[in-house]
Amino acid sequence: MEEEKNFVERSRKYLEDVSAGAIGYEIESRTLRGLRAVRFEPGFVRCQFTVPTTLIDNIGGATTYTISDRLKVTLNFNISYYSTAKIQDEVEIEGKVIANKGKITSVAVEIKRKDNGELIAIGKSWMASNDYRSPLPKL
């Protein structure tokens, strides 16, 4: 239980630090700039955001980080679009772990309009442990 709490707090700090440009790559910081963390639980992340051009992959990665001691890299990525969002529309983004199979994890990310809950897009991906690629980020 305490370990899960640490994973959740670490994931929140990671996402906040990346969005602020304190850690990670510049492309990640630019993509996540302005992100507001609303709720973090084991296997679940909810954020609010004004729509940029990309973000689903980063939210999926942060969601897997809520249940693991390592960041994961994307193996397979699929987005289905159901509606459009205009620049400066406010949306709500939810990431959920669908399956955790040890070194690989399936995650789904939903983007909905904040004002009426209309579904805009769903991104689904499989992510793999990157423990063979790089050390843990320093938080």
- List, in order of start, the domains of the chain with CATH numbers: 2-129 (3.10.129.10)
Q: Quick check: 13 pLDDT over 70?
A: yes
Q: Shortest CA distance to 17 belongs to which of 54, 71, 95, 96? A: 71
Q: Per-residue confidence at 96, pLDDT binned at 50, 70, 90? A: very high
Query: CA 56 to CA 79: how far, in whole Å?
Result: 9
Residue with tokens 């199979």: 101
In this structure, the number of other CB atoms found within 10 A of the CB of residue 29 comes to 17
Alpha helices in the chain (DSSP H): 2-20, 26-32, 56-65
Q: Quick check: 64 pLDDT over 70?
A: yes
Q: Where are the beta strands (DSSP E) in the chain?
A: 36-41, 44-50, 72-81, 90-100, 104-113, 119-129
Q: Whole-prediction pTM value?
A: 0.64
